[in-house]
Amino acid sequence: MPKRADFATVTDPFRRELIAHCYRMLGSLHDAEDVVQETYLRAWRAFDTYDERKASLRTWLYRIATNACLSALTSRGRRVLPSGLGGPADPVTASLDRQPAVPWLQPLPDTLLPVDPAAVVSTRDSVRLAFVAALQHLPAKQRAVLLLRDVLAWSAAEVAELLDTSTAAVTSALQRARAQMSGVTPDEVTDLTGDDHRRFLDRYTTAFARADMTALIDILRDDVVLEMPPYPAWFTGRTAVAAFLPRIIGVGPRHVVATRANLRPALATYTADGSSWRAHAIHVPTITASGVREILVFLDPTLFPAFGLPVTMSEPAPVG
């Protein structure tokens, strides 16, 4: 049986996958980090009672983390994207009033995800923003059942024990959860090579950094979707997005830093603030062979430290 003195050594290897699990449950980077901290505190306090003959350490930690998430969800509203609140807006008349009080979905930096190649493969689909957003519409226990059964491959009996219910109840909850999640659009298979994807992403990056509306609109698909929490308004279709973008982009340049979120290439953008640059947004575009299909822009500078990025920086080299 591991000793308390060994706690950090034996439990730290699971921290990243626990963050991914709690992020799926809660839809929030900040909340996931808080709950994982609570998980490790609970685990440390109970470590003397852990019996490796009854469960692996990984399973034991997941039990604690899942229960901590369920407790947290009793007092927190579900995380949403603007499209989860209503239909698309008119690009000309849409309000630009932000709604910071809404519990918005947040992106997850790749640096917080498991680094083991096998774990990355099993994690990829389950941390897609569309998947995580859809999860938030499930009741908390259905959310847990779906993740434990379909993502972590727990048995119905193991889930029933954790949730203090019957295997029949677990099976029923799983069927309902799968039915609701069946409408989530899978990732589109494209014929883009890695180099082609990078070139397309570079075009998007340069166009946005230069506020070049013509170049930016040129790479949008006809069915493109734009969402920008904390703006509740969102837009669908190339015409609508092209009509809206000039209202927010303006004419000034932006500094753009490459990053990654939810196992996708992402961009961190900065706006000019005198002689320095100030954090503005995290962009997570979805790029296909026929153009940019989706642009999620998270206007939340508090996300930048989690991506290892400063909130302000001195004058960088010009883009392009």
Could you tell me if residue 164 is inside a domain? Answer: no
Q: CA-to-CA distance for 189 and 176, rounded, in angstroms?
A: 27
pLDDT for the residue numbered 320: 40
Report yes or no on 85 lying in a domain: yes
CATH of the domain at 98: 3.10.450.50
**Residue 4 placed within a domain:** no
Digitized pLDDT (tens) for each residue of the chain, 320 residues in all: 566 778 999 999 999 999 999 999 999 999 999 999 999 999 999 998 898 888 899 999 999 999 999 999 998 888 999 999 999 999 989 988 999 999 999 999 999 998 765 555 566 778 999 999 999 999 999 999 999 999 999 999 999 999 999 999 999 999 999 999 987 766 654 555 677 788 888 999 998 888 888 999 999 999 999 999 999 999 999 999 999 988 887 656 788 999 999 988 999 999 888 788 999 999 999 988 888 999 999 999 999 999 999 999 886 644 44
Q: Is residue 72 a part of any domain in this protein?
A: no
Asked whether residue 54 is domain-assigned, the answer is: no
Q: Considering the domain boundaries, does residue 272 fall inside one?
A: yes
Q: How far apart are CA 118 and CA 102, in angstroms?
A: 36
Phi, psi for residue 170 in degrees, rounded to 5: -65, -45
How many domains are there within the chain?
Answer: 1
Question: Residue 188 has what pLDDT?
Answer: 55
- Token representation of residue 230: 């904390």
Burial class (CB in 10 A: 0-12, 13-18, 19+), 179: exposed
Report yes or no on 273 lying in a domain.
yes
Residue 156 lies in a domain: no
Q: Tokens for 214, please give them.
A: 């013509």
Dump strand ranges (E) for the chain: 220-227, 234-236, 254-261, 264-273, 276-288, 291-298, 312-314
Domain that holds residue 115: 80-128+190-320
